[in-house]
Chain A
Amino acid sequence: MTTLLQTLINGLLYGGILSIAAVGFSLIFGVMNVINLTHGIFVVGGAYGALIAWSVLGIDPLLSIPPLMLIAFAVGWILQRAVIQPAVERGNPVAALLVTFGFTLVALNLLTVFFSSSVRSISPSYSFINLRLGEVSFDLVRLIAFGCGLALIAILGSFMRFSRWGRIIRATALSELGARLCGVDARGVYAVTFAVGSAFAAASGVLIGMMLPFTPAEEVTWTVYAFIVVTLGGVGSLGGAMLGGVLLGLVSALTQTYLGGVFTNMVMFLILLGTLLLRPNGILGSAFKASR
């Protein structure tokens, strides 16, 4: 019983991280209908950014989140305007996929050259504290990361709901033509959306870097996980990302405990495949558009 409870708690905490790691992807996919293959590299980039901040500058990773988000925002904005938007306008259905993949290769190469492929982790002073609540234990870091993740999701949520830009983005997602007719610069909106998505990806990367060891090559994993979360929970909505993330986290933890660690990835990918075949819009459905 304790095992089950412990597994569920682990799954929940992990799920929270998966959620925050997926929101940026979900936003970009939902609003722009672009499968952003650079997602993972922004996540990993955020982790490495925090690593530098912590090991070279002595800054606590949590404090490095805002500046890293700004950097990611800028990089994402330029990338979308200069590369992705022109690619999408070329008309090739896989243009965005290819171009985001190309960028990822470049960034991956640079990260590997700069940091080497050895495994890194960020361990601030509170990393090794373990809390006990009755029979269950959890790492303080995970709890803090989970909390921060929720806070970030809340910030994104309020931004989308209450701010002017949030409304413009949602309007454009629902009807690009309609928004354009109201004077909205759709291209500008897409650039901002992508930038916001990238910023949140980087933020999640910092949190992940605090919890798990990472290498540049991990970026593939995080892109795929984001895709699974979003496909499962629903595209374009924070609720979808949270639902998908938590479900996936629970499944992952349960599989690890009861079937063995070897099977976790396989089960997760099967869920992705199954969802695509049975309910491609995810449990909560697409917040903005149809799938086929």
Chain B
Amino acid sequence: MTATLLDVQGLGRRFGELAAVDGVTFTAEAGRIVSLIGPNGAGKSTIFNLLTGYLALSSGSVTFRGERIDGMETCRIAELGIARAFQIARPFRGLTVRDNVRVGALFGNRAGRGSAIIDEAMELAGLRDLADAQASELTIGQLRKLELARAFAARPHLLLADEPLAGLVPAESEEILASLRAVAARGAGVLLVEHDMPAVMKVSDRVIVLEAGRLIAAGTPDEVTRDPRVIEAYLGQEA
């Protein structure tokens, strides 16, 4: 019995004439990993911005654990239990890894300062050894892990991971994917935006395909890869 965490209905966002997101409907469940895929400009990052309250909706509704969150302030949404790991890592450069993660823990869903949560988050992300390093000294792969650790520390109900694998070598990708699986196993829902198709197919429970702001297919990885519309949109893409 998996609880529906997120219920997105007819989500839409216009920038003047352009509909960046148009009538997108989907759900996310606890303990499940849902991936959003699509060509660049399909609206994936915009959806994340809309869900976290960074952008206002033009139409539609977003319900999180039974509560309408469209229109809420970013920090309030974060308090309710949605955490985001950024595509372009935004670490707090002047702080250590541990302090970065601590901020995530202190202001997340279940605000706690116990070092247990911080250590657990760093463990999940594979950063235990780097706990006292300055964030400004990390490599890109390590920064990605820091993004995730910070999000994990917030003990979110729903984690939004924005292209966490971009620019990583296969070994690092595997580590990140393992972290995501571990987080889902603990009961959080994961929304993943990614371009790395093999990775997406390996780790996702469901896949949602977007094109030009619209949802063109949704289903299990197998169903989606065999969907003719998807194949057409991805002509030339690795499937």
A–B touch (CB < 8 A): the answer is: no
Chain A positions near chain B (C-beta within 8 angstroms): none
